[in-house]
Structure 1
Amino acid sequence: MTTSPLSWLPLPSSTDRAEDEPASESDDQALDPVQLAALHRGRDAGEAAAAWVRSLSGRQENEDHALALEHAAAGIERASHQEVIPGGEGQLAEELRYALGADVLLGATHTGTVPDLAAGERMPLVAVCALAAAMPSCVLGDLPRELTLLAAELDAATAAGRAATTATGLAG
Structure 2
Amino acid sequence: MRELAGRQGEEEHGRLLERVAEAIVQASSREIIPGSDGLLTEELRYTLAADGLLGASHTTGTLPELHPGERMPLIAVCAIAAAFPACVLGDLPRELEVLAAELEAATDAGRTAEAPAAG
Q: TM-score, normalised by structure 2?
A: 0.90
2:28 to 49, 60, 80: 80
For residues 79-133 of structure 1, the C-alpha deviation after alignment (integer angstroms, 9 at most, x for no partner) is: 0001122332111111111211122111102110011101200000010001001
1:129 to 78, 91, 116: 78
Alignment of 1:1-172 (within 5 A): 53-108=1-56, 109-164=58-113, 167-168=114-115
Code of the residue aligned with 2:72 in structure 1: it is M
For residues 112-163 of structure 1, the C-alpha deviation after alignment (integer angstroms, 9 at most, x for no partner) is: 0011101200000010001001111113433322222111110010000001
Question: 1:160 and 1:86 mapped to 2: Cα distance?
Answer: 32
Question: 1:85 and 1:146 mapped to 2: Cα distance?
Answer: 18
Higher helix proportion (structure 1 or 2): 2
Identity of aligned residues (%): 63
Do the aligned partners of 1:72 and 1:104 also contact (CA within 8 Å) in 2?
Answer: yes
Counterpart for residue 30 of structure 1: none
Task: Give me the CA root mean square deviation.
Answer: 1.6
Code of the residue aligned with 1:115 in structure 2: it is P
Higher radius of gyration, 1 or 2: 1
Question: 2:35 and 2:106 mapped to 1: Cα distance?
Answer: 28
Question: 1:126 and 1:139 mapped to 2: Cα distance?
Answer: 21
Do the aligned partners of 2:16 and 2:55 also contact (CA within 8 Å) in 1?
Answer: yes
Distance 1:88 1:139, change over 3 A: farther
Question: 1:142 and 1:58 mapped to 2: Cα distance?
Answer: 36
Q: TM-score, normalised by structure 1?
A: 0.63
Unpaired stretches in structure 2, ≥5 consecutive residues:
none
Code of the residue aligned with 2:83 in structure 1: it is A
Distance 1:139 1:87, change over 3 A: farther
Q: For 1:120, what is the secondary structure of its paired residue?
A: coil
Question: 1:90 and 1:149 mapped to 2: Cα distance?
Answer: 18
